[in-house]
Structures are given as structure tokens and as C-alpha cells.
Amino acid sequence: MKQLVLDIALPAAPTLDNFVPGRNAELVVALYALANGASNERFFYLWGADGSGRSHLLRAAAAAARRNGRRTVWFDAQTKVIDAADDVLCAADDVHLLGAEAQIALFNLHNRIRGGNGALLASGNAAPAQLRLRADLVTRLAAGLVYQLHGLGDEEKSAALRRHADARGLRLAPEVTAYLLRHARRDMPSLLALLDALDRYSLETKRAITVPLLRELLEATTKTS
């Protein structure tokens, strides 16, 4: 049980493959193309509510680009100055939190990238026009492709959990899925990690996947957190 609890606490690293796209399929395809060097687009801005997957997609696209041999840099509210070549892929997360120095640094980096061969993938919690940032930085962010991220509803999450269970050869009863959505962390990486742990726990204990078994696993997680 201890190892299962540790596994639940550490969802799989974000990738483009383990992101459940829902209504964001067009964006995911565009990020695959960017990471694989098959896109002519170099500037992306993603916006959506907390939990919609902004950071997941930025980290996933940057990781995929690195696997393809591209240099990448990470940029967030802690960044003040960044010395990066003009051919990097820069992932700038939560730009709505940037302070004055970080906004200047990102603006300058955007200009270097625009004059070179790099790419900028930025995210925030609002559309560019609603960001309380420097006007010149807002203009830069709005000039590329802008995508609103749509979070998954409960029906979409349930369907994704059922597909994941089917791929593992599991029968996931509707009441188990409903309990998961009511009592577990609701982001998809955590839900999928919990479902995988539940599958392993079921095999180890030789018990069927039921609400009582899931409740037992969740209670053990709470006790060790």
C-alpha cells in the first residue's frame, strides 16, 4: 500500500500523449507540429481557468521539443533576466503573474526570438486583452496564435476514465467513476494516476474494483499525506 500511495502522489510527467484533449484537439495537434519542427507558427498564447491544463501543455511541448534536439527555456514569475539564444523554444507560464522586471525580460526575449528562429509558447489565465501587463507585451502575446483552453466537464472526464480503464482491460462501474470525481483530486493526471494505482491494488489484494476498495485506497492516501 505504501508504494501505491507514493505512486498516487506522483502523477505521470506531462506529455502531449497523456493530455486528454476534449475540445482542445486542434491546439494539441498544433503543439505536436511545433515540437516536431513541422509548424510555420512560432508564437502561441494559451489561456484558460486554473486546472484547464495550461502548464501541462507548456511542459509537455517543451519536453517533446527537447527530445527532438531543440533547446528550450522555462520562463515564469520568478524569472527576472534570461540569457537565451534567439533560436530557443521558450515556454512562458502564467504570464498574468509576471512582475515589472519579468515583463520587461519576456518582452525583450520575444523580440530576440522574433528576429531569430525561435518560438514562444506562453500561457495565462485570461485572453490577451484582459491581461494587466505592459501594453507592448500584451500586443506581442496577441499577435500570434491565441487558443482558449476548455476544461473537461464531468461527462468528458468520466468518458476519459472509462477509455483509460478499457485500455487496461478493466471494468469500471459508473458508481466508481462517480466516486472518483466526487472525492479525488479532479485534474486528469491525478485521476489517471489514481486509477492506475487502484488497478494495481485490486490485483495485489485479489479484490474487484468497487467503491469500498477505492475508498480504502483514498483513506490510506489521506493518512500518509
Q: What is the pLDDT of residue 85?
A: 74
Whether 44 and 135 share a structural domain: yes
Q: Are residues 125 and 158 in the same domain?
A: no
Residues 7 and 101 in one domain: no
In this predicted structure, the answer to whether residue 82 has a pLDDT above a threshold of 80 is no
What cell was used for 136? 507592448
- 174-204 residue pLDDT tens: 999 999 999 998 888 889 888 998 998 998 8
Identify whether residues 125 and 163 lie together within a single domain.
no
Q: Quote the pLDDT of residue 78.
A: 81
Q: Is residue 17 in a domain?
A: no
Q: In total, how many domains does the chain have?
A: 2
| Residue 42 belongs to some domain of the structure | yes
Q: Are residues 121 and 30 in the same domain?
A: yes
Average pLDDT, the chain: 90
85: in domain? yes
CB 105 within 8 A of CB 79: yes
Question: Structural domain of residue 140, as residue ranges?
Answer: 22-148
Last residue of a domain, one of 148, 163, 192: 148
Which CATH number fits the domain that encloses residue 193?
Answer: 1.10.8.60
pLDDT at 77 over 90: no
Locate 46 and state its grid cell. Answer: 494559451
Domain boundary among 89, 124, 148: 148
| Claim to verify: residue 91 and residue 181 sit in the same structural domain | no
Task: Give, for 92, the enclosing helix (H) or strand (E).
Answer: strand 89-92
What DSSP string describes 175-193?
A: HHHHHHHHHS--SHHHHHH
Residues 18-63: tens digit of each pLDDT: 899 999 999 999 999 999 999 999 999 999 998 889 999 999 999 9
pLDDT digits (tens, 9 = 90+) for 126-182: 999 999 999 999 999 999 999 999 989 999 999 999 999 998 898 899 999 999 999
Position 11 confidence tier, pLDDT thresholds 50, 70, 90: low
Residue holding cell 468518458?
Answer: 159
Pair 50, 81 in one domain? yes
Query: Does 137 lie in the same domain as 117?
Result: yes
- CA pair distance 49, 57, nearest whole angstrom: 14
Angle at 24 between CA 95 and CA 147, to 5 degrees: 40
Domain contains 8:
yes
Domain end among 106, 129, 148: 148
124 and 156 both lie in a single domain:
no
pLDDT value of position 155: 93
Note the pLDDT tens digit of each residue in 107-127: 999 999 999 999 999 999 999
Residue the block writes with cell 526570438: 113
Q: In what order do the strands lie in the sheet with 43-47?
A: 72-75, 89-92, 119-124, 43-47, 145-148
SS3 content of the chain, % helix, strand, coil (to 5): 55, 10, 35
Average pLDDT over residues 79-107: 87
88 φ, ψ (degrees, to nearest 5): -80, 165
Pair 43, 96 in one domain: yes
Both 140 and 68 in one domain: the answer is yes
Written as nine digits, the cell of 54 is 495550461
